[in-house]
Copies of this chain bind each other. A is one copy, B any other.
Amino acid sequence: MITHTVQGVAVRNIERADSAVIDALARCGAATVHEAQGRIGNLNPYMRPIFSGARIAGSAVTILAQPGDNWMVHVAIELCQPGDILVVGTTSPCTDGYFGDLLATSAQARGVRGLVIDAGVRDVRDLTDMNFPVWSKAVSIKGTVKNTLGSVNVPLLCAGQHVMPGDIVVADDDGVCIVPRQNAEKVLKAAQAREANEGEKRQKLASGVLGLDMYNMRPGLEKAGFRYLDSLDELA
């Protein structure tokens, strides 16, 4: 069992989920997927997209990086396959700009779909023009060095979430969700079931039906002792 971080290694071969399942998860979006797997897997909401409108999913190629050092990103790109997403965690908190347009060019050439980094990024204008989406903690002009070893494709923490190489990353304007590879199909089914459901609900609510009635919440409120008052004066 792998329980603690290892430094100085790269794992060449990782298992990935079925690409059709991954793409279908992307269409569901991060919030629905998060809901569908029981409200777990969310990255900290300080992770924000550098441009809006992207909605992607892919297999995590994980990068454990030292603060201010992006050496391992170069190592990771060689191990990427089309459909992968780079996921970077650091051994100490850092906001430096680990990744810019050159790395994005290289990553896109390998078919990488995007980057999720618990640190900073730069060249955001170029990345936007390239349509290379990034979710990051910061945007920073401060670059990095290539001096100290981290690891690639090891389990790591990214923005408060545990990520295994090969886990599915689902990311959009709402944030980022991690789905364990083994659960991909099960979560997809649950997500699609939620979605099927939502169209009808949306229509009802648009027509003026209240959530209180549609979800039958009134008995629960009453049971919990909820009281309606006619005016604020009754609270005096």
Contacts and interface: CB of A to CB of B under 8 A. Distances in A.
- The dominant DSSP class at the A interface is loop
B109 A174 contact: no
Given A226-B10, A229-B10, A235-B6, A53 B175 contact: no
A27 interface: no
Question: Number of copies of this chain in the oligomer?
Answer: 6
Interface in A93-119: 93-97, 100-103, 105-106, 108-110
B42 A142 contact: yes
A31 B198 contact: no
Interface string A52-85: 1101000000000001100100110110000000
Contacts of A14: 231-232
Interface residues of A, number: 111
Contact of A232 (B92, B153, B205, B229): B153
Contacts of A236: 1-2
A4 B140 contact: no
Interface string A145-163: 0111100011101001010
B157 A157 contact: yes
Contacts of A232: 2, 11, 14, 153-154, 165
Contact of A3 (B53, B128, B155, B208): B155
A40 interface: yes
A133 interface: no
Contacts of A52: 124-125, 128
Contact of A125 (B109, B157, B172): B172
A196 interface: no
B10 A75 contact: no
A199 to B, nearest CB: 10
A221 interface: yes
B212 A177 contact: no
In order of increasing CB-CB distance, the 3 nearest A-B pairs are A106-B205, A74-B211, A45-B140
